[in-house]
Structures are given as C-alpha cells and as structure tokens.
Amino acid sequence: LVAQSHPHHQTIVRLSKTVAFGGEELVIIGGPCAVESLEQMETVAQQLKFAPVQALRGGVYKPRTSPYAFQGMGEAGLEVLAQVRSQYNIPVVTEVMSISQIEAIATHADMLQVGSRNMQNFDLLKALGQAGKPILLKRGLAATIEEFVMAAEYIVSHGNPDVVMCERGIRSFDNYTRNVLDLGAVAALKQITHLPVIVDPSHAVGKRELVAPVAKAAVACGADGLIIECHPEPEKSVSDARQALSLEDMVNLVASLKPVAVAV
C-alpha cells in the first residue's frame, strides 16, 4: 500500500487547513524534547509561531533509557499541549508509547508520534491504524529501510493512510554524533514510497552546533519537513539538553532553510 506506483503519486498528510506534509511547502515542527510546563510551551509557541514553525512538538510520555529519569508530565502535559494548541492556533505533535494512551492523545494532539523504540511495536502500529489522526513514524534505532517501510505498511493496512516517515539517524560504531543520519534513506524513501518523508536532525546528531548544517542537507536531499528540538533555556532542558537549540537559533535556522527549499 505504501509503495510508489506509476504514475508517480504523492500522499498529502494534512494537520490543519493550512499545514500539510508532502505538498509544496516545507513543514517545520519545533519545540522541546519534553513538555515541562505551560509557561515553557507558551514561550515556545510565541517565539516560533511566526518563524514560521508550522507545528509544535513536546513529549508528555517519554521513552527514557533509565527508569529513574523524568518520564514526562503525562496527562497534565497533554492539557498543556491542548491549551497552547487552541491559544496559538497551531497543530501539536506528541509521542504515543502504548495502546492505552492513544485515545487521550488523539483527543488533544493533531499528530501522534511513534518513537524509534516503538517502530516495531506491531500491536501499537495496528491500533494506530484506527487512531483517526495522522502518524509521525520514526525510524527504529537500527531498522533497515525495508523494516521501516513495513512498519508504515502496518499502520496503513490497518486503516490509517496518513503516515509521515521520519529519518532520525541510526546506530553505528561511532557515537561522536549521537546517531548517523542516513540521508540516502531519505532519497530512497522518496522514491520507493508515496508517503511524505521528514528528518529529525536533532536526534541524529545529538549536538546543537551540528543541527543547522544537517537540517539544510536534509532539505536539499528532498525532505518534506523537519522536526527540531529547541527550548527557551536549552541547557536547562530536562531531556536531550545537549541537542536543544535556543529559540533564537531556531528562528534563524528556519529563515536560512528557505533558500535551500526554493532551490530544490
């Protein structure tokens, strides 16, 4: 179902009347790794809305390596997202980790993110076929392109055609960059599926000073959008602080992407 057909087809995944992946416009999703407070998300929305960033991100259920690390605000975080969403009239994206969370998240968010660690959680993927909301599917930590495409196939074959694929780097021998961004996969996915493909440069490189150049390369490579972590006080981020951009750097990055997008 997700394979490219002849003649060439492009799926458009719509988040709102004005925001859609796979069309002419590059879609930028920005925001912190984790929702930490209403004030934090209001500051982010205020500063980014006119960048323009077309959607906000923020995890409220966080898949942390350590069980002792901050696990996310949970339902209270969903309420924060719901509030900024309506106050600033901007779509929001947040991660779903289990089937039991789908209903509440789908009520408050415009797009449900499947994190790398759940890319092959097949029961979750099947259930998301019935979520009634677009899905942002991130590539697994060490997933092949074939496995990634088949994960998308699970969601689509269970009833949800609105899947956006996200390359976020894969594990390799060198962890100087947190992961290794696979731009070849972006080019390949654009050819072998009709789904929109976006890139997460933040989790790919893991260091804020490397995010901007890699983001530009992703756009030059044909990505339909980007998801980038940024924070009002990057060093104070409760998770993924090292890769968080300041809001000012985020606004500057968005401006610098325009000429690249036009050239592609």
Cβ neighbourhood burial of 180 (10 Å; 0-12, 13-18, 19+): middle
Does position 211 bind Mn ion by CB under 5 A?
no
Residue count, binding to ligand PEP (CB under 6 A) = 9
Query: How does strand 135-138 pair with strand 20-21?
Result: unpaired
**Residues in CB range of 180: below 8 A, 6 or more apart:** 169, 170, 171, 172, 174, 204
Residues 104-143 within binding reach of ligand PEP (CB under 6 A): 115-116, 138
Q: Which does 168 bind (CB under 5 to 8 A by kind): Mn ion, ligand PEP, none?
A: ligand PEP
Does position 234 bind ligand PEP by CB under 6 A?
no
Does position 72 bind ligand PEP by CB under 6 A?
no
Query: How does strand 225-231 pair with strand 20-21?
Result: unpaired
Q: Which stretch binds Mn ion (CB under 5 A): 32-40, 111-119, 137-145, 183-191?
A: 32-40
Q: Residue holding tokens 């995890």?
A: 59
Among 22, 30, 31, 59, binds ligand PEP (CB under 6 A): 59
Minimum distance from residue 229 beta carbon to ligand PEP (Å): 7
Q: Residue holding tokens 């654009």?
A: 190
DSSP 95: E
Cβ atoms within 10 A of the Cβ of 174, count? 8
Does position 237 bind ligand PEP by CB under 6 A?
no
Beta bridge partners of 117: none
Among 85, 178, 203, 216, binds ligand PEP (CB under 6 A): 203
Cβ neighbourhood burial of 5 (10 Å; 0-12, 13-18, 19+): exposed
Amino acid at 148: F
Does position 168 bind ligand PEP by CB under 6 A?
yes
Minimum distance from residue 222 beta carbon to Mn ion (Å): 24
Does position 94 bind ligand PEP by CB under 6 A?
no
Does position 58 bind ligand PEP by CB under 6 A?
no
Does position 208 bind ligand PEP by CB under 6 A?
no
Does position 231 bind ligand PEP by CB under 6 A?
no
Given the rule CB under 6 A, which residues bind ligand PEP?
33, 59, 63, 115-116, 138, 168, 200, 203
